[in-house]
Amino acid sequence: MQTRAPSWFTDEELAGLDDFWRVYEANAEALERQTTAAALEDPALAAIYASLSPGQVAAERVAGLERVRRAIRGDWAAYEANLRTQGVLYAGLEIPFPVWFRLVAITSRELTPRLVMALGDDRERLSASLRAMQAFFDLAISVLGEAYLLAQRDGSSFRPPRRTVLLVDDDHLMARVVTRALSPAHQVEVVNTVDAALGLLRHGTRFDVILCDLLLPEKTGVEFYRAVATEFPGEESHIVFITGGAFTPTARAFLQTVPNLRLEKPFELERLRTLVNAAGN
């Protein structure tokens, strides 16, 4: 049975919800930039972001705002369902719950001065909107947290889907390590040149994740990225660069211009598994 949000709020908080929403909506883009920057610090969340196309990100932004708007108006069902889905996903990907709590805290921190600026001349409305904001976020955290804990307890409620992974690396030891780490749960294919990788793509093979060494002996990871972006637009977002700490000036400048994730050798195998598990979610 879904919870209808107003039953969770005091009369004062209900009175402040409209002001809270008005300021939230007006500053949604700035708030999203702050929370996205924080989310990208977590490997699993960063992998989820990287797996989405710009169009998908934009569509989810609009849908997310609509869910909040409807929740503020009293239709809590869609917002609660989304929170519970997130809770199960977080548990399945073994993302620590405090990560989400931190994102909410950042939103609250960024929104508070905006509420003060908008309502500072009316202390009663400001107080009501601040209380409404805190109550709304507390409720959201409690719903997501309940789903997270139930999923952890059940264990079998979520299993990351099987992914297709391409490793482009001339290091045979690295190929064995990555294959052994991922192959129990995912399908892994290994090639040691950019041309071989492009050959697979040209024959219609697609991968959820492409792990590519940045510095290959013939054509580099930079050249691979540019070829994929040109021939198969959108597929370049699936590339994760493997780096060894040594960069040419060209490679260093390139990495500053693309949003793709990177794994720096030596990397923890658990981080690799988390990144692959999260791809496409």
The Cα 24–Cα 104 span in angstroms is 13
Confidence of residue 13 (pLDDT cuts 50, 70, 90): confident
Is-contact 162 156, C-beta < 8 A? no
Taking 80 as the threshold, does the pLDDT of residue 248 lie above it?
no
- Which of 119, 154, 189 is the C-terminal boundary of a domain? 154
Identify whether residues 143 and 46 lie together within a single domain. yes
Identify whether residues 231 and 146 lie together within a single domain. no
The Cα 9–Cα 180 span in angstroms is 52
Taking 70 as the threshold, does the pLDDT of residue 6 lie above it?
no
**pLDDT tens readout for residues 218-227:** 898 999 999 9
Ramachandran region of residue 204, left (φ > 0), alpha (ψ -120 to 50) or beta?
left
Confidence of residue 159 (pLDDT cuts 50, 70, 90): low
Q: What is the CATH number of the domain that holds 182?
A: 3.40.50.2300
**pLDDT tens readout for residues 58-102:** 777 888 888 888 888 877 878 888 888 788 777 777 788 888 888
Structural domain span for residue 99: 5-154
Write down the pLDDT at residue 117.
94
Write down the pLDDT at residue 259.
84
Taking 50 as the threshold, does the pLDDT of residue 135 lie above it?
yes
- Which of 105, 120, 154 is the C-terminal boundary of a domain? 154
Is-contact 145 87, C-beta < 8 A? yes
Residues in the chain: 281
Q: Is residue 140 part of a domain?
A: yes
Write down the pLDDT at residue 52.
64
Write down the pLDDT at residue 168.
95
Identify whether residues 133 and 203 lie together within a single domain. no
Confidence of residue 155 (pLDDT cuts 50, 70, 90): low
Taking 80 as the threshold, does the pLDDT of residue 187 lie above it?
yes
- Sequence letter at residue 204: G
Taking 50 as the threshold, does the pLDDT of residue 2 lie above it?
no
- Residue 2: CB atoms within 10 A of its CB come to 12
Q: What is the CATH number of the domain that holds 112?
A: 1.10.490.10
> What's the number of domains the chain is made of?
2
8-state DSSP, 267: -
Q: What is the mean pLDDT of residues 111-121?
A: 93
Q: Is residue 34 part of a domain?
A: yes
Taking 80 as the threshold, does the pLDDT of residue 257 lie above it?
yes
Confidence of residue 4 (pLDDT cuts 50, 70, 90): very low
Would you give the distance in Å from CA 49 to the centre of its chain?
Answer: 4
Please tell me which of 178-182, 183-187, 199-203 the model is most confident about, judged by mean pLDDT. Answer: 199-203
- Which of 154, 185, 218 is the C-terminal boundary of a domain? 154
Write down the pLDDT at residue 280.
53
Identify whether residues 116 and 18 lie together within a single domain. yes
Confidence of residue 247 (pLDDT cuts 50, 70, 90): low
Identify whether residues 26 and 113 lie together within a single domain. yes
Write down the pLDDT at residue 153.
77
| Helix, strand and coil in the chain, % to nearest 5 | 65, 10, 25
Identify whether residues 14 and 114 lie together within a single domain. yes
Taking 70 as the threshold, does the pLDDT of residue 215 lie above it?
yes
The Cα 191–Cα 130 span in angstroms is 56
Identify whether residues 127 and 248 lie together within a single domain. no
Would you give the distance in Å from CA 213 to the centre of its chain?
Answer: 23
Ramachandran region of residue 196, left (φ > 0), alpha (ψ -120 to 50) or beta?
alpha
Write down the pLDDT at residue 101.
82
Identify whether residues 45 and 103 lie together within a single domain. yes
Taking 90 as the threshold, does the pLDDT of residue 173 lie above it?
no
Confidence of residue 183 (pLDDT cuts 50, 70, 90): confident
Q: Is residue 159 part of a domain?
A: no
Write down the pLDDT at residue 149.
87
- Two tokens, residue 18: 């409209």
Identify whether residues 115 and 9 lie together within a single domain. yes
More confident of the two residues 142 and 75:
142
Identify whether residues 57 and 189 lie together within a single domain. no
pTM of the complete model = 0.56
Identify whether residues 146 and 172 lie together within a single domain. no
Identify whether residues 150 and 168 lie together within a single domain. no
- Two tokens, residue 245: 């700490």
